[in-house]
Each structure stands twice: as structure tokens, then as C-alpha cells.
Homo-oligomer: A and B are copies of this chain.
């Protein structure tokens, strides 16, 4: 279980880190929002503990950016003053918050609560799903319709029909564009790009197979 701690104060990071290590969590650290984004992108982070007041990019902005990349739970750290009210009004998925000064024990308790909840156990609420309803000609993520162009839709459908099978650009082109398409192979790349962007947190289901092409990865989690 990997926890990312994002705070500009090394002292705070260290305290939290020590407690987490005692509980057998793996710990990653970031000094600011930008670093946090990179770390989330490159690692399978299970939860982020994030300070609000930080240089370069504040916590709110960082959460927004990270949510675009991955659906990972957040616990926010904030001072007990006006920051707090702002936090409340901040409607994107924050799982919990802790106001400074906080006791390490309390923070750990909350981290445990959140990880337990998101990791299944009593996961009666969230059903995370990417669904392509071909009859309705509609793609939904967690029930919310996703706006895809016709080509994006066709591409996703074709990739999903061939789950876990690596498909060359050539194969993709002849199946979706037709055998008589004589355009650039890079065209596929562009559509993969736009499709990924529209899939939001599911952007990673389309894996690049270097030297080969692309595939829809039905397995959850990886790396």
C-alpha cells in the first residue's frame, strides 16, 4: 500500500512518514504539487496526503490535476483558519481532511479508514466502470456519458472487442478505416490520443505496445 505525502515542510513529511512506516505502508514524498503529479503518474499510489499551502502549485490545483490522471483518494491537510472553509466548498472528490495542528495518530487513523474503504472490504458504494453500450451507441464512466467522436467510438469499440490483444496500426486502420485507406499510420496515434483524453481516469486502459501498436488492457492495475 503506497502513500504519497505532499508537503513543502520536510519536518511534517518525516513525522508522517515515520508513523506510516510503522504501519507497514510504503511512502513516497513530494515537496509540491508539480512533483506530486509526476509521482502519481509514474507510480501506483493508493492514497495521497496533501497539504494545501504549498509553493509552486497549491493543493487544490494539484488535486484537480491529479484527478484528471488517476482516481486516487485524497486526505487534505489544512490550517484551521479560512483555508478550511475553502476546503469545504471544494467539491471534487476529497475523501477526508485533517486540520493542523493534527496528531499523527489521528491522521493514521484516517488513512486507515480511507484505504480500508477504497480497497474493497466494505465497498458497497463505488462501482467504477467503463461501459460501452453499443445499442445506445454510448460510452459511460461511472454512469456518466462520455462524449466521443465517431472515430473515437469505433476505435474504442474495436479495441474492447479485442481485449488484451495487441493490434498493429495497420490492422486497426484496415478494420476501422477500411482496407482502402492509404493515409498515414500516425493517424491512429492521434485518435488514440484524443480517445485517451476523453477517457479521463480510464485513459490507461489503452496501452501502448512499443514497436507494435496498441491494446485495450482489461486487467486492472499494473506497473
**What is A's interface to B at a CB cutoff of 8 Å?**
14-15, 18, 22, 75, 80, 88-89, 91, 93-97, 101-106, 109-110, 112-114, 117, 124-125, 133, 135-138, 149-150, 153, 164-166, 209-212, 215
Contacts and interface: CB of A to CB of B under 8 A. Distances in A.
25 contacts: A22-B91, A75-B103, A95-B103, A95-B105, A95-B106, A96-B104, A96-B105, A97-B104, A101-B106, A101-B110, A101-B113, A102-B113, A103-B110, A103-B113, A109-B124, A112-B125, A113-B124, A113-B125, A135-B164, A135-B166, A136-B165, A136-B215, A137-B215, A138-B166, A153-B211
Number of copies: 2
A104 B138 CA distance: 32
A61 to B, nearest CB: 20
B109 A113 contact: no
A136 B216 CA distance: 9
B105 A210 contact: no
A52 to B, nearest CB: 15
Contacts of A138: 166
Given A96-B101, A149-B211, 16 more contacts: A14-B88, A95-B103, A95-B105, A96-B103, A96-B105, A97-B104, A101-B109, A101-B110, A106-B113, A106-B117, A133-B164, A135-B166, A137-B166, A137-B212, A149-B210, A153-B211
B136 A15 contact: no
B105 A93 contact: yes
Contacts of A97: 104
A150 to B, nearest CB: 3
Contacts of A103: 75, 95-96, 110, 113-114, 117
A22 B22 CA distance: 37
Contacts of A14: 88
Contacts of A75: 103
Which among A102, A103, A112 has the greatest number of chain B C-beta atoms within 10 A? A103
A210 B88 contact: no
A185 B138 CA distance: 23
A89 to B, nearest CB: 7
